[in-house]
Amino acid sequence: MRIFYREVFLKVAGNFLGSMIRFFYKEGVKVMRQALIFDVDGTLWDTTYQLPLLYNEMFKKLGFTEKCIDRKTVMGFMGYTEEEIAAIIFPNLEHEERMKYLDMITQEECRYLLTQPGKLYPDVKEVLDYLHRKYELYIVSNCQKGYVETLYAAHGLENYFCDFECSGRTGLSKGDNIRFIMERNQLQTAVYIGDTLKDKEACDYAGIPFVYAAYGFGKVEEYAHKIDAFKDLMELF
């Protein structure tokens, strides 16, 4: 009798497991994994007080003694690619030369921000801790190689995120990097949280909703949702 009941139990359990698998993988479609993808500057932290000091110091070291930028200038190119920033900072230089000087500056930038880190926006750690228990979290930024790792190291955020990508590593646009990270992690759907029009355009290109962080550096008129503070994500998600 024990053998009989054991066989019945295994058969019932097997049928239940099979039905669950068919439900979640019906017609070969995987379960929809929910993911949130974040921008960095103007969304997670603000480095616009630190960077003018570093840039102006580096200008002097590189021989550009008359060149000087302020916080407003830095805010203006936040979210831009390295090539776009180089064109703003060194408009009179040829492409190869301007990129050489910017590379020197950005390499020093990551080292500098480890000891003089940007400031996280209010409640970022608490909200990420809440969100990462419900969703898979990712970062996609137009920053240089090493910048996201610097953010992680400066504020201990690495355990909240599953993966990240940046234009400095791939040479791709933000929209392509959003697609890239979704393909790499087999994400069927995602939402992007950022603060600039470039972020919104990247979301349109990638075909995902855009949540506008209105407390950041940009002005955006069209979006799926708007947040006025990072903690608003706890109500939205």
CA angle 112, 121, 107 (to 5 degrees): 20
DSSP calls for 191-215:
EEEESSHHHHHHHHHHT--EEEETT
Task: Tell me which DSSP letter residue 44 carries.
Answer: T
- At a CB cut-off of 8 Å and minimum separation 6, what does 57 contact? none
Tell me the per-residue pLDDT of 166-214, one tens digit each, with 9 for 90 and over.
999 999 999 999 999 999 999 999 999 999 999 999 999 999 999 999 9
Tell me the per-residue pLDDT of 67-125, one tens digit each, with 9 for 90 and over.
999 999 999 999 999 999 999 999 999 999 999 999 999 999 999 999 999 999 999 99
The pLDDT, as a whole number, for residue 34 is: 87
The model carries a pTM of 0.85
Indicate the helix (H) or strand (E) that contains 123: none
Residue 141 Cα distances to 18, 29, 76, 93, 183, angstroms:
41, 29, 16, 26, 16
The pLDDT, as a whole number, for residue 32 is: 56
- At a CB cut-off of 8 Å and minimum separation 6, what does 77 contact? 84, 85, 88, 89
